[in-house]
Amino acid sequence: MITGNVIAVTSGKGGVGKSTVSVNLALALTRLNKRVAIIDLDIYGFSVPKMLNITDRPKTINNKIIPVGSHGLSVMSTGFMVRGNNPIVWRGPMLGRMVEHFFKDVIWGQLDYVILDMPPGTGDVALDLNHLLPNCKEIIVTTPHPTATHVAERAGTMAQNTNHEILGVIENMSYFSPPIENAEKYYLFGKGGGNTLAKTLDTTVLASLPMSIPNENGEVPTIYDETSNLFIHYNDLACKVEELTVTKASVN
C-alpha cells in the first residue's frame, strides 16, 4: 500500500509539460532528502521511463512487484509492461485494474511523497483515483495560453467536486529568456493565464516556469540539473510543496 503525501499532477489537456513537471518535482523532492516514488498513470501516453532513461524492468517477489529504482526514485509505469514503443490498447475497465494494481500490488516501502503523473483530462483514471485515494492532493499544470487555462479549469473543478485539495497551479512555459545577463523575457504563449486559473480555483500559483534552453547539442533536456536555468525553479517548487504539506499535516 501507499504511504506518505500523494500528489496528483494533472492538467486539462496534453502538451503542457505535465510529465516533465512530475518528474522534475519528484527529483527536486529527493534533493530535500525525501523518499519519493513516481507512478506514471498516463496509461496510453506513458513517458516517465523514457524521461528517466530507464531500461530495467520491475522484479517480483511473492507475487508482489518491486518498483524500478532510478535517480533516487521508486518508479512504476505501464511502459515497463510493453515491448519497445508499442501502444496500450485497453478499454476503461482495464485502466481501473491497472491503477489499483499499481497502488496495492507494489512493494513501495515507507515514502514521504508519491507523485502521480496523471493522464490529461477528467476520464476513467481520474475517477478511479478518487475512489482509491480519496485524500490525494492535486497540482494543476497549465501554460499561460487562454485555451490551456480554460481546459485546465475543468481538471481543477473535478478536483474540487471530489474533495481533493488543490495545492496550487503551476504555469509551465511561462516565458523564454535568452541566457544572457538582464535578458528580456518573451511571453510566447501569452501572459497571466496561471494567475487567472489560480483565482478561478481559489488557490495560488506555486511556480511560473520558464521554457528550457537547449544544451550544447541542441537538445532540450527533460531532467534539469545544475546546468539548467530550471534547476533552481524546481528546487523552490519542492520547498513550497514541502511547506504546504507539512503545514497542512500539522494543522490536521
Strand order in the sheet with 68-70: 68-70, 73-77, 36-40, 113-117, 5-10, 137-142, 166-171, 205-208
What pLDDT, on a 0 to 100 scale, did the predictor assign at position 53? 92
Residue 172's domain is classified under what CATH number? 3.40.50.300
pLDDT value at residue 122: 73
Residues 196 and 204: their CA atoms lie apart, in Å, by 10
Rounded-to-10 torsion of CA 63, 37, 96, 79: -80
Q: What is the pLDDT at residue 174?
A: 97
Instruction: Give this prediction's pTM.
Output: 0.92
Distance of alpha carbon 39 from alpha carbon 52, whole angstroms: 12
Could you tell me the pLDDT band of residue 95, with boundaries at 50, 70 and 90?
confident
Tell me which range, 100-104, 125-129, 201-205, is most confidently predicted by mean pLDDT.
201-205
State the pLDDT at residue 147. Answer: 94
Better-predicted residue by pLDDT, 247 or 213: 213
* 3-state secondary structure at position 5: strand
Which pLDDT does position 249 carry in this prediction? 53
* pLDDT given at position 89: 66
88, pLDDT greater than 80: no
The pLDDT value recorded for residue 183 is 86
The structural domain count of the chain equals: 1
Residue span of the structural domain in which 94 resides: 5-251
Any bridge partners for residue 76, and if so which? 39
Sorting pLDDT into bands at 50, 70 and 90, what band is 220? low
Which one, of 12, 22, 71, lies nearest residue 225 by Cα? 71
